[in-house]
Structure 1
Amino acid sequence: MQKEHRLTDKRDFQRVFHHGQSFANRYLVIYYLKNRNSEAFRVGFSVSKKVGKAVTRNRVKRLLREAFRNSSDQIKESYDLVVIARPSAAELEYESVVQNVHHLLRNMERPDAGKRKPAPQRTNSPGAQDKQGERRKGVR
C-alpha cells in the first residue's frame, strides 16, 4: 500500500474512533471519518492478540492490506479508515477477505450507514409498571 494511503499516527486512530462512525460484519469492523485535509483515503489496521499468534495476526494484516489496495477504486472520497479484525477473521482466505471488505465499503457509502436504529417502543404490558420502580407484592 502506498505511503499516502497509510494511517499510522496514534492521534489519527483516536480521532477516527472518537469522532467517526462504524460499521461491522461478522469478521471485520470499520471506523470511518471524512478527511478534509487529504485528497486520498488513508487506512490503518488493528489486529488484537485475540486473533492469534503473531504469524496469524500478520497474515490477517497482509490480506487486509492487499484487499484494500485492490479495492481502492471503490473509495470515492477521502476518508480515514480504521479496520479492526475480529478473532474469526483468522480463518478467512483471501477471497473471503475481499468480499468482506467490499461489503463494508459498499455499506459505508450508504446514507444511513453508521446510524443507530431506534430502540423499540415500550408497550403497556402488565410488567411494564414493575420496571418503573413499583414493587410487586411478595417480592423483596
Structure 2
Amino acid sequence: MNSNRFPRTARVRARSDFDRIFKHGRRVALPVLALHFQADPAVPARLGLAVSRKVDPNAVGRNRIKRVLRDTFRHLRGELAPGDYVLVARPGASRCNGEELRNHFRSLLKRAGAWPGLALPATAATGTMPAASPSAPMPDSGPG
C-alpha cells in the first residue's frame, strides 16, 4: 500500500460512524481543534473532518484547513494507532497557518495516546537530577 495516498477506505464518511465516534470515542481538545478518537484494532487509521461555516464563512478557508489536516494525517497514518479519528475545527483554526494547524493536530494525537511522536532522548539533559537506581536505599522519612 502506498502511504502517500489518502484512499476512501482511510476516511470516516458515514453519518452513523461520526455519531458512534462522537458518542463512544475519547475526546481531547485545544482552543482551535478537538479530536474524537475511537480505537479499533480491526480498522486501520481513518480520518473524518468537521469544519463548519462558524470556523470560516469562506469555503476557501474551510478547504484550506481540511487540506492541511488531511495531508498531516496522510503522512502520519502509518504510525497511528488503528481506529477512527474525527477532527472538529473550532473558530480559531481559521487564524492558524498550516504549520500551526499541523502542530496542534500532532499535539492532540499525542495527548490522545494515538501517536508516539518523537521519542524523548535516552539520557537526561545536563543539569538535571540523575535517575535513582532501583537498588539504592530510600531515605528514611522518619516520624517527623
TM-score normalised per structure 1:
0.72
The corresponding residue for 1:82 is 86
CA distance in 1, matches of 2:79, 2:99: 17
Per-residue displacement from partner, 1:46-66 (whole Å, max 9, x unpaired)?
A: 001111121111111111111
CA distance in 1, matches of 2:50, 2:98: 18
CA distance in 2, matches of 1:85, 1:13: 14
User: How many residues matched?
Assistant: 108
Unaligned runs of 5+ in 2: 1-5, 115-144
The corresponding residue for 2:70 is 65
Moved over 6 A (4+): none
The corresponding residue for 1:2 is 7
Contact 1:67 1:97 in 2 (8 A): no
CA distance in 2, matches of 1:74, 1:27: 23
The corresponding residue for 1:43 is 47
Percent of residue pairs identical: 32
1:36 is displaced (CA, Å) by: 4.0
Q: Which has the higher helix share?
A: 1
Unaligned runs of 5+ in 1: 111-140
The corresponding residue for 1:33 is 38
Amino acid at match of 2:20: R
Q: For the aligned residues, what is the CA RMSD?
A: 1.4
Per-residue displacement from partner, 1:26-77 (whole Å, max 9, x unpaired)?
A: 2100001112432x111100001111121111111111111111222331x2
Q: Secondary structure at the match of 1:71?
A: helix
TM-score normalised per structure 2:
0.70
The corresponding residue for 1:23 is 28
Q: Secondary structure at the match of 1:50?
A: coil
Give yes or no for the alignment of 1:109 onto 2:113: yes
Contact 1:6 1:44 in 2 (8 A): yes
